[in-house]
Chain A
Amino acid sequence: MASEVVLKNVDNACETAEEFTRLFYKQLDNSRHLTSKLYLDTGLLVWNGNGINGNEKIQKFLMDLPASNHVLKTLDAQHIKNNLVSNKLTYLIQACGDVTYNNDQVKTPFQQTFLVVAIEGKWKIASDCFRLQVPYNN
């Protein structure tokens, strides 16, 4: 039987994931110039296998992507016991859904996994792995 503290973390991870993804995709789709503020200064974005390191480079990379619209279909979250940044609460968030670019009609399924850490009362993305659901073998 899991302890009260563990259960509290289970609930919090889910509620944080809901709030975080609501904000993240709203910004990415509608006010992308603000999105990089959600990442740690040293955060990492891995976009379809391309690694972009640091908040400023992430901002530039995101601005160069075509306009997007993300619709979430599933969301899941867990807490991580070994905190990534010492003594900072760390959650693992998995968000999956469909994305369209440039108001195109084609919906492509995507899967995205975030590691978020609580830094001075704010949730920041330590790493973000985004993958479109397409074949990757050459």
Chain B
Amino acid sequence: IGFDVSDEVTLPSNRQWFLVDQAGQNLVRDFVTQYFAIYDSDSRQPLLEAYEETAMFSMAATYPTGDMRNAPENKLNAYISKSRNIMRITERESRRRYLKIGKLQVVSFLSDLPKTKHDLLGFAVDLPVFTPGMIVLTMNGVFKETNVSGNPTRSFHRTFVIIPNSNGGFSITNDMMFVTNTTREQEAKAFSAGTEQPAAPVVQAPAVAPQPALQP
């Protein structure tokens, strides 16, 4: 005799964009479009302009669990060798070394990563913090490596902490990235909406009141 339990897993449906404040929509769209236009270009050097003097960057990478694909394009050596996964990097000295501090170090690190083309229309974007003093922007998506044979697609998760600068613009103070191989599902849908238009929210994000405690 068994119990009357349902095995079916039903999860709340996904939304592609979440904005804590609708007022952040244009800034987010412009930031994503402009940042990745440079990131995907021949030279990432101009990104120096986007980072604050003592900005920080780190990246963690791992293979998908149980992934048996073993072709050369499935290798993540370009990322794993630089991965700051603190579950494996346990020495304080190494943890410090794998964290890049200072915009020169950050952009030089980014410049050494494989050349890419990001699927901007496929991005999932979350804006959890949007205050006059600080913006936090996180995204999930896929990119294609353009200078590697077979042009493999990778999945990434990335978070930017952005603050206003003295020139009336914005600077990135923290940048954190995760890279892994795409799932078959992601690969099938990658770049399916085209690549030429700028990223735009497809779904209206629900209006959520800004967090009072986080106002400066």
Chain A residues proximal to chain B, CB less than 8 Å = 2, 6-7, 10-11, 14, 17-18, 40-44, 46-51, 53, 61, 64-66, 72-82, 84-86, 92, 94, 96, 98, 101-102, 104, 107, 109, 111, 113, 115, 126-129, 131-138
8 A Cβ contacts from B113-144 to A: 119, 121-124, 126, 128-129, 133-134, 136, 138, 140-141
Interface size on B, residues (CB 8 A): 76
- Please, how many angstroms separate the alpha-carbon atoms of A58 and B37 in the complex? 36
| Complex: chain B residue closest to A110, CB-CB | B157
Is A53 a contact partner of B209 (Cβ separation < 8 A)? yes
Chain B residue nearest to A11 (CB atoms) is B92
Chain A residues with CB below 8 A from B189, complex form: 135, 137
B129, A115: Cβ atoms closer than 8 Å: yes
Partner of A66 from the list B11, B66, B205, B214 (CB cut-off 8 Å) is: B11
- CB of A136 within 8 A of CB of B211, answer no
Distance in Å: Cβ of B120 to nearest Cβ of chain A: 10
Cross-chain contact of A76 among B84, B186, B213 (Cβ < 8 A)? B84
Chain B neighbourhood of A73, CB < 8 A? 62, 65, 85, 87
Which segment of B25-33, B43-51, B94-102 sits at the interface?
B94-102
Identify the closest chain A residue to B16 (Cβ): A136
Can you report 12 residue pairs joining A to B where beta carbons are below 8 Å apart? A44-B208, A48-B14, A51-B208, A76-B85, A92-B174, A101-B11, A127-B129, A129-B138, A131-B138, A135-B185, A135-B188, A135-B190
**7 closest residue pairs by CB, A with B:** A49-B15, A111-B157, A135-B189, A127-B128, A136-B124, A137-B122, A74-B60
